[in-house]
């Protein structure tokens, strides 16, 4: 069984990354509360460094390396936000970084990586191709692989967001996080249940990429049905590690249709005046579709990121 | 000389409105700092109730009314944000509200007013037409006129934003606010100079609507040259009252071209992940164009609002 962090490890991560990441605000919006029949507390990781919660996990991993390990740099494969986060964290520590990226990754995410001085290596958009490219770089350079989610240090870093959320809004009944590879949901569930045993923790994912919901039921890592969802950050399967954490600590996983994700995204922009990417909108979409039922509850939602191509908004297609 | 609030009045306003408005966050962005060569602290009034700082002044005015005055309701003319803010404040107090609006006002701003239960009366988009419509409603109903900016209580309310900003970022060298009718800039300058005598206070306005910059020099309320700026919140001239406050307390007024306003707006969306309307982008646009010089300084910027039609973004025209 691959190791998972506990609350102590998540607290240690929080102290380690604090000088390098934002303590993001928690925002509320009465008019969205009225749409959902609940009281919502939005943890704004779209306002985080590099525009995504991924800054937390990547920074914890990079600053957990020994001097000897760090000297050779770090490498990862990522559809974008983890790549940018690793590039940011490596720049903060002053070490080299390579990012393997599918050649169809959105330009805004490529730019996000390059701006921190990372070297991008493009590959075909398949798991096999990106893992092979990563292994090549590890061999060539001695760089340490920092996996986007299947890594104890990354999971501990992602778990720090809910520590802050429960500090600002201690009486939550429910916490909801989107689930792609499951790093955020694992860290969130471990931390939230340890801090507040009565809290329910839900995952949220696109119906078009409902592998986590099916894995949660079957107990096996189920394959991704397709990659047609606009929530591009969630086109990933779980790992054995994140599935174990989720089965142990998560209460349910809801799914949302594409139209509901777009509606929730636009509603968040219009009512809350913040830019979120489609993945961030999936928890609210599940509440609007009532695939997660939480009427009257105090619900914390982790808004995971805000990296969007402003020339191609989903309601303008 | 029409009366102006002092710091005591602004502090009293702050206490009066605190139960009804958000204490908005102050955000920073290293990558925009790098573009401007300064350290910027953005006071996010786009995240305020009704999506604009106008909630502060309107709430202060409405809750300053006696019971006898309040019973007959309130009325105003507004291109939108003040109208929505007054509707919001009146709903909080449970009194009727009428809003006179030009018939070309953006739909998002009309919806913002209606959602709080205000009665809209449309008029031609001229100063004379809207003042006549307001006077009619005052006569018919006994409602109290709450002017969008030429009102001591409104100016005191608008001045509360910089009180919070200087509380969160006490060592600012400069504060910049957009200037339309001058209510925000007046309240900001009065409060900022009283709290921190060394601070410089700048106004920022579109070059296509540079009446405040010219009035600042001439000492007379100069007419608006045109209404072609996309910064629709700033298509207003000063009043004798706001001109007096600005001449007494403001150090300079910078102007920005339309292209710079669009660039600053998009930069804020992309880098900071927040939705701001064009008016909010004018201070940053002045810094990017160097019509306000503040290299190396610690600069507070008031982001005034986030009410934008998401189907008609200025970079997609």
- Give the global pTM: 0.94
What tokens does A187 get?
A: 């860290």
Q: Which tokens hold the place of B104? A: 């070309």
Q: How far is B24 from chain A (nearest CA, A)?
A: 9
Percent of chain B with pLDDT over 90: 85
Residue range A175-200: average pLDDT? Answer: 98
Which of A108, A273, A315 lies closest to B275 in CB terms? A273
pLDDT per residue over A250-300, tens digit each? Answer: 999 999 999 999 999 999 999 999 999 999 999 999 999 999 988 889 999
> What pLDDT was estimated at residue A293?
84
Pairwise CA distance, residues A231 & A81, whole Å: 13
CB contact under 8 A, A310 and B306: no
Q: Between the CA of residue B87 and those of A265, B48, B74, B142, what are the distances in Å?
A: 26, 14, 9, 17
- The verdict on B279 touching A (C-beta cutoff 8 Å) is no
Q: With an 8 Å Cβ cutoff, is A315 touching chain B? A: yes
Residue A87 and residue A97 in contact, taking contact as beta carbons nearer than 8 Å: yes
The average pLDDT across B82-91 equals 96
Neighbours of A224 (CB within 10 A): 18
CB atoms under 10 Å from CB of B134, counted, come to: 21
> Which residues are within 8 A (CB) of A309 and not within 5 positions of it... i.e. 6 or more apart?
A106, A107, A108
Q: Which residues of A touch B35 (CB under 8 A)?
A: none
- pLDDT score, position B232: 87
Closest chain B C-alpha to A187 CA, distance in angstroms: 24
Give the per-residue pLDDT at A79.
64
A114 touches chain B (CB under 8 A): no
What is the mean predicted confidence (pLDDT) over B13-19? 98
As given in the structure block, the two tokens for residue A299 are 């619900």
Pairing of strands B39-44, B298-303: parallel
Mean pLDDT of the A207-231 span = 93
Three-class secondary structure of residue A175 per DSSP: strand
A316 and B315 in contact by Cβ < 8 A? Answer: no
- Set of chain B residues whose Cβ sits within 8 Å of the Cβ of A27: 47
The confidence score (pLDDT) of residue B1 equals 73
Give the least confident one: A57-61, A311-315, B193-197, B251-255. Answer: A311-315
Q: Using an 8 Å Cβ cutoff, are A52 and A85 in contact?
A: yes
Please name which of A25, A33, A83 lies closest in space to residue B274, comparing C-alpha atoms.
A25
Q: How far apart are the first and last CA of chain A?
A: 45
Provide the percentage of residues in chain A whose pLDDT is more than 70. Answer: 99
Nearest-CA distance B251 → chain A (Å): 31
Residue A196 has a CB neighbour count (10 Å cut-off) of 16
CA–chain centroid gap for B144, Å, is 21
Q: Which residue has tokens 């049905």?
A: A225
Contacts of A311 in chain B (CB under 8 A): 315-316
DSSP reduced 3-state for B311: coil
Output the pLDDT for position A91.
Answer: 97
Using an 8 Å CB-CB cutoff, list chain A residues near B164.
none
What is the H or E stretch that residue A99 is in?
strand A97-102
> Using CA atoms, how far apart are residues A4 and A2, in angstroms rounded to an integer?
7
Note whether A216 and A203 are within 8 A (CB).
yes
* Residue B214 confidence (pLDDT) above 80: yes
pLDDT at B81 > cutoff 80:
yes
pLDDT of residue B79: 64
What are the pLDDT digits (tens) for A21-75?
999 999 999 999 999 999 999 999 999 999 999 999 999 999 999 999 999 999 9
Q: Answer yes or no: is pLDDT of A317 > 80.
A: no
Residue of A nearest to B109 (CA): A270
Question: Could A311 and B311 be called an inter-chain contact, meaning their C-beta atoms sit closer than 8 Å?
Answer: no
Measure the CA–CA gap between B205 and B183, rounded to whole angstroms.
Answer: 14
Which of A19, A49, A38, A5 is CA-nearest to residue A305? Answer: A49
Rounded average pLDDT over B197-210: 97
B109 to B89, B104, B179, B206: CA distances (angstroms):
16, 10, 19, 21
Q: Does B80 touch chain A (CB under 8 A)?
A: no
- Looking at per-residue pLDDT, the higher value among B179 and A295 belongs to B179
Q: Which residues of A touch B46 (CB under 8 A)?
A: 273
Distances (CA, A) of B92 to B15, B52, B87, B108: 16, 16, 9, 21
Which of B314, B200, B202 has its CA nearest to residue B264?
Answer: B314
Name which residue leads in pLDDT, B106 or A76. Answer: A76
Report the C-alpha gap between A314 and A305 in whole angstroms: 16
Tokens of A232: 């591009």
A216 to A63, A220, A306, B31: CA distances (angstroms): 32, 8, 27, 40
Which pair of tokens denotes residue B174?
């400069």
Residues of A in contact with B50 (CB under 8 A): none
Q: Alpha carbon B218 to chain centroid distance?
A: 23
Q: Phi-psi region for residue B52, left (φ > 0), alpha (ψ -120 to 50) or beta? A: beta
Find out whether A242 and A181 touch, Cβ atoms under 8 Å.
Answer: yes
Could you tell me the CA-to-CA distances from A156 to A21, A57, A233, A289, B1 in Å, in that order?
Answer: 14, 7, 19, 31, 62
- Residue A246 and residue A216: Cα distance in Å, rounded? 7
> CA-to-CA distance for B14 and A246, rounded, in angstroms?
46
Helix locations, A196-239, DSSP H: 211-218
In chain B, what residues touch A310 (CB-CB under 8 Å)?
266, 269-270, 313, 315
Distances (CA, A) of B277 to B50, B94, B113, B260: 13, 29, 17, 14
Q: Cα(B30)–Cα(B40) distance, rounded to whole angstroms?
A: 8
Pairing relation of β-strands A97-102 and A119-123?
Answer: parallel
Element (H, E) at B86: helix B81-93
Task: Kindly provide the residue ranges of all beta strands, DSSP E only, lying in A199-314, ordered along the sequence.
Answer: 200-206, 252-256, 298-303
Which is more confident, B111 or A91? A91
Position A294 scores a pLDDT of 80
How many Cα neighbours within 13 Å face the side chain of A114?
A: 9
The contacts of residue A110 (CB under 8 Å, 6+ apart) are A80, A101, A120
Alpha carbon distance A243, A177 (integer Å): 15
ipTM of the complex: 0.92
**How far does CA B31 lie from the centroid of its chain?**
26
Domains of chain A: 7-52+153-316 (3.40.50.1100), 55-150 (3.40.50.1100)
Closest-CA residue of A relative to B305 is: A273
Query: What are phi and psi for residue B150, nearest 5 degrees?
Result: -90, 60
């Amino acid at each position: 069984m691959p190791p998972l962090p506990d609350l102590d490890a998540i607290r240690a991560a929080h102290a380690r990354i604090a000088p390098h990441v934002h303590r993001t605000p928690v925002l509320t919006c009465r008019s969205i509360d009225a749409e959902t029949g609940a009281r919502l507390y939005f943890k704004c990781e779209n306002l985080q460094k590099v525009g995504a919660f991924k800054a937390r996990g990547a920074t914890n991993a990079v600053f957990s390396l020994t001097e000897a390990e760090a000297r050779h740099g770090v490498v990862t494969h990522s559809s974008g936000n983890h790549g940018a986060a690793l590039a940011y964290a490596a720049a903060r520590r002053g070490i080299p970084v390579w990012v393997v990226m599918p050649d169809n990754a959105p330009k805004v995410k490529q730019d996000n990586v390059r701006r921190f001085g990372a070297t991008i290596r493009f590959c075909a958009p398949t798991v096999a191709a990106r893992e092979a490219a990563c292994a090549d770089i590890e061999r060539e350079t001695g760089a340490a692989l920092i996996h986007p989610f299947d890594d104890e240090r990354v999971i501990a870093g992602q778990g720090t967001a809910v520590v802050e959320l429960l500090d600002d809004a201690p009486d939550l009944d429910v916490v909801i996080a989107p689930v792609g590879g499951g790093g955020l949901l694992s860290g969130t569930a471990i931390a939230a249940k340890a801090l507040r045993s009565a809290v329910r923790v839900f995952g949220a994912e696109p119906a078009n990429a409902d592998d986590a919901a099916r894995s949660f039921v079957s107990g096996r890592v189920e394959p991704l049905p397709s990659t047609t969802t606009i929530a591009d950050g969630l086109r990933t399967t779980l790992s054995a590690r994140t599935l174990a954490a989720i089965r142990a600590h998560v209460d349910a996983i809801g799914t949302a249709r594409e139209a509901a994700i777009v509606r929730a995204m636009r509603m968040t922009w219009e009512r809350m005046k913040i830019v979120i990417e489609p993945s961030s909108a999936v928890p609210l979409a599940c509440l609007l579709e009532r695939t997660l039922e939480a009427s009257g509850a105090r619900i914390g939602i982790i808004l995971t990121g805000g990296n969007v191509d402003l020339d191609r908004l989903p309601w303008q297609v």
